[in-house]
Amino acid sequence: MRLKSIFTNSFSILFSRVTGLWRDILMASALGASVWSDMFFVAFKLPNLFRRIFAEGAFTQAFMPSFIASHHKGVFATAIFLRFLLFLISFSLFISIFPEPITKLLAWGWDSKIISQTSPLTAINFWYLDLIFIVTFLATLLQYKEHFATTAMSTALLNISMITALWIYIKSDPKTVAYALSFAVLIGGFLQIIAHIVAIKKFNLHKLLIGGWKYRKTKDVEDEKKSFQSLFIPGIVGNSTPQISAFIDTILATFLLTGSVSYLFYANRIFQLPLAIIAIATATVLFPSVSKALKNNKEEEAYKNLNRAFWLLSFLLGMATIGGILLAEPVVWLLFERGKFTQIQTIETVTVLRMYMVGLLPFGLAKLFSLFLYASHRHKKAAKIALYSLIASATSSLILMNYMGASGLALAGSIGGWILFILTVKEVGFRRLIDILKSKKSIYFVVTMTLFSIVIFIFNNLLLGFIRG
């Protein structure tokens, strides 16, 4: 297992996520959990949804196996890039002309006045989708060369762009802040593209793309494109359960009290931090090597990596789960409670965060086990499993939101995460999991988590005494 690459990728993602938290702290101070913060988050939700789907695996896990198997890699890559980009540009133009229907789709519970105010923000933010596709495409080529740092670090450029906008306009009225943030999103997207172009040139991958364009009419890659297409849609469905679940939750939250969309956003941002720097970083690094190992019939080498990664994720995500649940109040207080973000909003966000953290471990481990489904071209199986998980999550959301509000929506997402994990392990093979759990590390895990819980419980009480005192 490539521990050096994993930790390098994790550090890069951590840097990006820290800048993201800094951005959210400023945003909470400038907008609080208000109508305008809800409006911006709804407008940013759809492009951000696709960003997570594309950037966190769906495109890569469909493209990488097909790219590895391709006999004309440059031509194949160029053909896929042009097809996607033309579609996305056309789609973005349509949204720019007719923003209100898509905004209504994102916020069913809002009245026509708020929809009309949010629509221009939706039209601006949606163009980020085109930019992030270019970033993801270039990032996948870099992953083929087993270079991950540029992609992991580049999200910081988006955050820095938004932070700059907040610093400049933080004392302005909420409407001005929301518009400034929307344009900053696009500037950040352009900066991410520039960073990836520099890295592509460094690894001489630009020659592959130039050659692909030059010979696109003389090389037949139709079968390879069909292979990619057969994997892509199932890949999107299989990889996007947490994102689609959060997307549905945002829609449902518009039927709840004002601020519910914002509570979900702020809590999910904290939840995504350990998920990204531990689970997604590990899965991103392992996927190219697992794909190559299975293609070359080195199955034992691939599963050896699974064993090591399982325990790395279990210990780190286990501690993150305990810390997130027990330290939720001090963390939210420290990060967000200032300016227009009140103590009541802190309490609401804490409840939502704890419900999200229940699903951290299963989501992370499901990400790991699903690598073997995608690397062996079992995308349709992964998609079917994800749909079952999504149905369970959406059904639970409709039930729990009536009793628990926004925190019920978060708990429903965690329920979906556990179902995703169980069904993914079943498809890969429970025998693999049982063999892993037979290790003495299982005992070490239980003892470590118990001791860690006691220490964090005591530490949390001391922190709460300081905060409330």
DSSP of 282-330: HHHHHHHHHHHHHHTT-HHHHHHHHHHHHHHHHHHHHHHHHHHHHTHHH
Nearest to 420 by CA among 279, 281, 256: 279
pLDDT of 71 strictly over 80:
no
Measure CA of the first residue to CA of the last residue in the chain; give whole Å.
47
Query: Does the pLDDT of residue 247 top 80, yes or no?
Result: no
Integer angstrom CA distances of residue 451 from 110, 358, 463: 47, 19, 19
Average pLDDT (266-275) is: 88
* Contact (CB, 8 A) for 121 and 180: no
pLDDT digits (tens, 9 = 90+) for 396-447: 999 999 999 999 999 999 999 999 999 999 998 888 889 889 888 999 999 9
Q: What is the pLDDT of residue 240?
A: 67
What is the Cα–Cα distance from 235 to 16, expressed in whole angstroms? 25
pLDDT tens-place string over residues 57-67? 567 777 777 77
Residue of 453 and 373 predicted with greater confidence: 453
Q: What is the largest CA-CA distance in the chain?
A: 74
Could you give the count of Cα atoms lying within 13 Å of 151 in the half-sphere of its Cβ? 33
pLDDT higher than threshold 80 for residue 88: yes
What is the C-alpha separation between 441 and 438, in angstroms, rounded?
A: 8
Tell me the average pLDDT across 102-111. 76
- Entry field: residues in the chain: 469
For position 469, what pLDDT does the model report? 58
Across 95-109, 145-159, 292-306, 353-367, least confident range: 292-306
pLDDT, mean of residues 128-144? 88
Q: What mean pLDDT, rounded, does the chain reach?
A: 83
- How high is the pLDDT of residue 23? 86
Q: Can you say whether residue 2 is alpha, beta or left, with left for phi > 0 and alpha for psi between -120 and 50 degrees?
A: beta
Local structure of 377: helix, strand or coil: coil
pLDDT given at position 258:
77
Residue 1 has pLDDT above 60, yes or no: no
Distance CA 240, CA 50 (A): 9
Q: What is the pLDDT of residue 89?
A: 92
- Phi-psi category of residue 146: left, alpha or beta, with phi > 0 → left and psi -120 to 50 → alpha: left
List the domain boundaries for the chain: 3-468
Return the pLDDT at 113: 85
Q: What is the mean pLDDT of residues 442-461?
A: 93
Residue 217: pLDDT band with limits 50, 70, 90 = low
Q: Give me the sign of the Cα torsion angle 195, 69, 234, 424.
A: negative
- Which residues does 43 contact at the CB level (< 8 Å), separation at least 6? 103, 106, 118, 121, 122, 124, 125, 178, 182
Q: What percent of the chain has pLDDT over 70?
A: 90
